[in-house]
Structure 1
Amino acid sequence: MLAILATCALVVGLMNPVLADKKDDLQRQRQGVNGKIDGAQKSLDSSSAAYAKAAKALDAAQAKLSSARATLGKTRGQLAVSQAEDARMQAELDRSQAALDKAVADLKKGERRLKASEDEVKAFTVQTVQEGDRGMKAFGELLGGESPSTFTDRMSLNASVGDAQVSRMQKLAAAKVILRLNRDKVEKLRDQVAVARQAAAANLQKMTELEAAAEAQTAEVGKLVDARADASGKARAAKVEDERLLAAYEAERNRLNNELAELARRELERQRARERAGRGGSGNNGGLSGGDDNGALSYPVNGPITSPYGMRVHPVTGVYKLHDGTDFGVGCGTPIHAAASGTIIQQYYNAGYGNRVILANGIKRGQSIVTTYNHLSGFARSAGARVSRGEVIGYVGSTGYSTGCHLHFMVIANGVTVNPMGWL
């Protein structure tokens, strides 16, 4: 599109009045459409920037969401463990409490038995004291004339009473031992129950905190999902609408560009005819563009080609379209040299191409050649300046639709973009 301006400028002095009027009319239409396109492009840039920002926010939200979900999963896992532990602790506490209750009952029963044994021993002791030594009493009665058989019977009874007394004393001693053991068991079980209750209480507190955390995390996950969907939806809707408007404006611009290209063809043909008549068919239109006679172009920078001319998926927009130039991977600030002598017909900022220089290089190999240098960080010359081949005209940057520092170099032959490598 911009190359056509250079072509028209080359022959501005050679047009007839009708042709000039037609061109002026087309140029006015073109300016009107370009104004619409610039507005639409700015809207698209804003939308694309908003979409890129939303995508970045979406990635961040997704990362937060993934992290929140992982945390929630971990919390729920801990909660499940805590709930299972709570059930186990409760069962253990119930068993310990039951054992304690039984031990306490056994202790009370043992205390009653001990008291009964003690009472029996006390009663027997009192009786023994009151009755005296039964053996001595039986012996006295024998001396007093009691029959020997009676004496024998009384001594046997005395032995039986002694054995019973021994048995009572042994039961009493055993009851005391069992009572002591039961008391120890009760104390131990009471300690176990206290510890179990403390652990269960701590686990219950932890389980309550985990439940609250899980509830809060679930709510946060929901918010992140809603925020992500809202941002993505709005940005996508704006981008689709802007692209629709831009497509309509570009269709109109292409129609006008086709007419201008045809007009340029006629002008170029007329110019060549005059050159053959006046200068013997010189291959360069000389003065106006300031071009040189070398039919090839020089490399504007010294660097590797990172993206060639041709169809590709745009790295920023993701659209499959023509990559209308050759990308050279060089650092920001690298000087850019004019590929051939010529006149800077325009230099400005474009949302897609960033800072760009448009250089008319004259007629080469029978074609009107215009070179453009895009995504610049800054300009070295001004619009309208005539520059020589190799002269610095700007500096590499990453302005406009760009993913990094590089030079996007374009060649426009007779109004049509071509592969720069065919001219370098």
Structure 2
Amino acid sequence: MKHDASLTGRGKLAAVISAGVVAGLTVSLGIVPANADKLDDHKDRIEKQIAGTEKDLESVNAMLQKNGEKLRKFQDRLPSAEQAVQDAEAAESAARSEVQQLQGRLAAAEKSRAEMVEAQEKTKAMTDEQRKLTGQLAARAYQSGGLEGSDFGLLVRGNDLNKWANSVEVSSRLARAQNRELNELLGRGAEQRNATARLSAVEDEIAGLKKQADAALVRQTQAREAADAAKADLEKLLADTESAQSELEDAKSKAHQQLEDQKAEQQKINQAIKERQERLKREAEERARKAREAAERAKREAAAAERRRAKNAAALRAKAQAAQKKATVATTNTKPSKTVSKGTWGLIVPASGPITSGFGWRPTPAGTIDYGGLGGYLHAGIDWGSACGSPIVASASGRVMQEGWNGSHGITVSVDHNIVRGHALTTNYNHMTRTAVRVGQQVKQGQVIGYVGTTGNSTGCHLHFETVVDGQHRNPAGLLW
């Protein structure tokens, strides 16, 4: 019986199982990252795994259906296979019976032959004895003058009993006793001939029975082999079919289990995403609430600050106007000469040109940035309206502590003068076009440290000069003159 090589579909089955069933779940919600992108990636990965498993399950179901059809076909073949086994076993049984019957007949024939041989040997011995006795009778008759003639002599010499038996003349001459012996001799001779013929027939029968028995034995062996082969084919057919069905059912069970696990994982991820969205919503609502509160608080603080600003601005304006008036009286239209006299702090004017703006409160100039948002600012120094590129000198000796860009002040140089009159003093030179010193350099009073420019929050070429005493801006006029 030929088996279907594609019965189990083991190659396809292995591919289906290895595609996802034995892969298992490689992710766990217990380590789901808080990062939203990673959580979404996790969700996408699980959905792809579910799609792959469902596809694998479809393949397994298709293979189960296909294998089920084959199983039904094989089951349809079972009756004929079982009948073949029964027929083969019946043929074997018939052949066995035939062999047994022939062997019985052969044994009987051989027994009969043995008996015939034994009887023939006995008959021969008796015949020989009878002939001997007849010869003795003939001799006595001859000696006594009886049994004259050539026929009896012929009988004795030629052993032709038939001729002698057919001879009426010889029979009439024999004595009664002699005649009886001769008749017995004739009977045994005929019996011996018949036994020989029967023995020959029995031997022929034995030879024929042996041939039949050998042929029947061959048929029995062939029938037994056919029965064994049919039974083995049937058992193989059933085993392969059941094995294939079992493997596919196992694959289906594993695929179902994996699908359930993946869907459970998907549900966990969806729940995590839902919780994340709810948390984000709560956080957004909380931020909105805090923003509203902050806006209301800022509004209140801005109103209070505006009130303070207006009050402070008025005070600063009054103070600045007074200081500017004093500085203007002392310095208006004056120019530093090459031999500038030093003030009480020992500082000299750092640049040439007229003073264009003094120390005090100023409204934010058009075209500049209102950093404080108050509509004005404290002008914490004095401006000299010098031409761009004009030299700027150190107002006092000291060490350069800053050099370079400084936000709205543009290119700046700051010089630390250490302690002057018991106070820490620093001078700042702002809005330069370029510098002539470096940080850490020691400079002398009157040494060129840079050149007038209009960098930073500036509307024209000028030097903005500041004096910082003990960390607080002071009006430079009080230190210069």
Give the TM-score band, short-chain normalised: 0.3 to 0.5
TM-score, structure 1 normalization: 0.43
TM-score, structure 2 normalization: 0.38
Identify which of structures 1 and 2 has the higher relative contact order when contacts are C-alpha pairs closer than 8 Å and 6+ apart.
1
